[in-house]
Structures are given as structure tokens and as C-alpha cells.
Amino acid sequence: MKELVKKFIGPKEVAAFKSYLRAVLASAVTMGLALLMDMQPEHAILIGGITAPLAKWADKTESEYGLGSEE
């Protein structure tokens, strides 16, 4: 079963899925701020817009920001 999963899920698919999850996180933060805190939309969008890059920066497996593993 593991071989079958590894055949379809490679590093590119994992990276794409992680990128998708970061976008979902940024959307959730934006909507949550705008709706729950009754914040002006432009402020919520600004905060939500920096959420995805911050989540990528905090991920220790990402190498774009210099925190990940050197390959």
C-alpha cells in the first residue's frame, strides 16, 4: 500500500498540497477577522495577506526563506 501511495504522491504533490493549505489558512484568517471582529475588510485583507508567507516562513521544511534544510 505504501508503494502505491508513494507512486502518486511525490514531492511536487506534497508541496502543492502545503501551498493549498497555506491559502486556506490565509482565507480563514481574513474571513475570521472581517466577520468575527467586525474589522474593516481592507485591514483584514492586509493581515490575511501576510498569513500565508508567515506560515511558509515558520515551516522548517521550506528552504526558500533560509530556515529549511540545505539541499
Task: Give the tens place of pLDDT for each residue, 21-30.
Answer: 888 988 888 8
User: What long-range pairs does 21-30 form, CB within 8 A, spacing at least 24?
Assistant: 22/51, 22/52, 22/55, 22/56, 23/52, 25/51, 25/52, 25/55, 26/51, 26/52, 26/55
Residue 68 inside a domain? The answer is no
Q: How many structural domains is the chain composed of?
A: 1
Contact 21, 27 (CB under 8 A): no
Run of H or E residues at 65: none
Residue 63 inside a domain? The answer is no
- pLDDT score at 10: 81
C-alpha 2/C-alpha 24 separation (Å) is 28
Residue 62 inside a domain? The answer is no
- pLDDT score at 71: 46
Residue 24 inside a domain? The answer is yes
Q: Which domain holds residue 25?
A: 12-55
- pLDDT score at 1: 63
pLDDT at 18 over 50: yes
Residue 67 inside a domain? The answer is no
Run of H or E residues at 68: none
